[in-house]
């Protein structure tokens, strides 16, 4: 059983489209995150939810909207995709302070 | 705000030898957690080792150990008996105890040569 599963693994889409990435964890962790890894491999936090409540919202364009229907799920919806959104997006969960369990990442390519 | 610095963008080591990856951080907090994560070419991020700031004893996980110097704000990772499967990008990370948010360094790409 995959602990943190993200879908899809790859996403290729045109500029201007809207897309969603889904994440589910079966570890019973209270906190979930979205991180963006750019082409230089830098990792930057985007959002964090604790038990369905948004607790971290970094400086991210409002075209990005997270949604957490329950504490096991955290989805990321992106509107009006731009070329600069191309990156790998990681979902992670944690039961602080034991470190993160990451999903396998979603490589988003905007053309 | 916390910052994490990994000053070695790339390193290489011969198989079976030992290598040390450097990490320094800056924080005004007294209690926090430090981590090393590994990202092999498969892209999967894997937790390697964890250190609690209030513990003086250095963490060890099999061939992986850390040298934690709290006063110097230094947290290096030592890999002993390097294996080809250790080839990966390694990220140092700092976690704030309250927010649970981690700040990552820019990573060090390690290549283990046969």
B96 neighbors B104 (Cβ within 8 angstroms): no
Q: Please say if the pLDDT value at position A41 is more than 80.
A: yes
Distance from the Cα of A33 to chain B's closest Cα (Å) equals 9
A23 neighbors A69 (Cβ within 8 angstroms): no
Q: Which of A33, A40, A104 sits opposite B43 (nearest CB)?
A: A104
Whole-angstrom Cα distance, residue A106 to residue B48?
22
Determine, for residues B101 and A56 on separate chains, whether the beta-carbon distance falls below 8 Å: yes
pLDDT at position B9 is 96
- Which residue in B10, B33, B45 has the most chain A C-beta atoms within 10 A of its own C-beta, making it the best mutation to test that interface? B45
pLDDT at position B5 is 97
Whole-angstrom Cα distance, residue B47 to residue B39?
9
Determine, for residues A102 and B97 on separate chains, whether the beta-carbon distance falls below 8 Å: no
pLDDT band at B60 (very low <50, low <70, confident <90, very high): very high
Q: Please say if the pLDDT value at position A2 is more than 80.
A: no
Residues A53-82 have pLDDT tens digits of 898 888 899 999 999 999 999 999 999 999
Q: Which two tokens stand for residue B85?
A: 């499967």
B95 inside 8 A of chain A by CB: yes
pLDDT at position B99 is 63
pLDDT at position A28 is 93
pLDDT at position B4 is 96
A-facing residues of B in 66-85 (CB < 8 A) are none
Residues B86-105 have pLDDT tens digits of 999 999 999 987 767 899 99
Average pLDDT over residues A40-55: 91
Whole-angstrom Cα distance, residue B87 to residue A93?
25
Distance from the Cα of B54 to chain A's closest Cα (Å) equals 13
Taking CA atoms, what residue in A is nearest to B52?
A: A97
pLDDT band at B31 (very low <50, low <70, confident <90, very high): confident
């Amino acid at each position: 059983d995959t602990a943190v599963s993200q879908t899809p693994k790859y996403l290729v889409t045109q500029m201007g489209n809207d897309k969603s990435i889904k994440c589910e964890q079966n570890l019973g962790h209270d906190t979930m995150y979205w991180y963006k890894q750019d082409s230089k491999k830098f990792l930057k936090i985007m959002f964090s939810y604790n038990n369905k409540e948004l607790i971290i919202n970094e400086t991210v364009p409002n075209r990005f909207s997270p949604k957490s229907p329950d504490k096991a799920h955290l989805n990321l919806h992106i509107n009006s995709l731009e070329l600069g959104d191309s990156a790998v997006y990681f979902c992670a969960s944690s039961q602080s302070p034991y470190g993160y369990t990451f999903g396998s990442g979603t490589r988003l390519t905007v053309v | 705000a916390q910052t994490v610095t990994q000053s070695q963008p790339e390193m290489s080591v011969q198989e079976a030898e030992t290598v040390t990856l450097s990490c320094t951080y800056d924080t005004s907090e007294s209690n926090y957690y430090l981590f090393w994560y590994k990202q092999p070419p498969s892209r999967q991020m894997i937790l390697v080792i964890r250190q609690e700031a209030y513990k003086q004893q250095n963490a060890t996980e099999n061939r992986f150990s850390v040298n934690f110097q709290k006063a110097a704000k230094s947290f290096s990772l030592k890999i002993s008996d390097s294996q080809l499967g250790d080839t990966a990008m390694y990220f140092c990370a700092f976690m704030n105890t309250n927010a649970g948010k981690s700040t990552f360094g820019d990573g060090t790409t390690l290549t283990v040569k046969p």
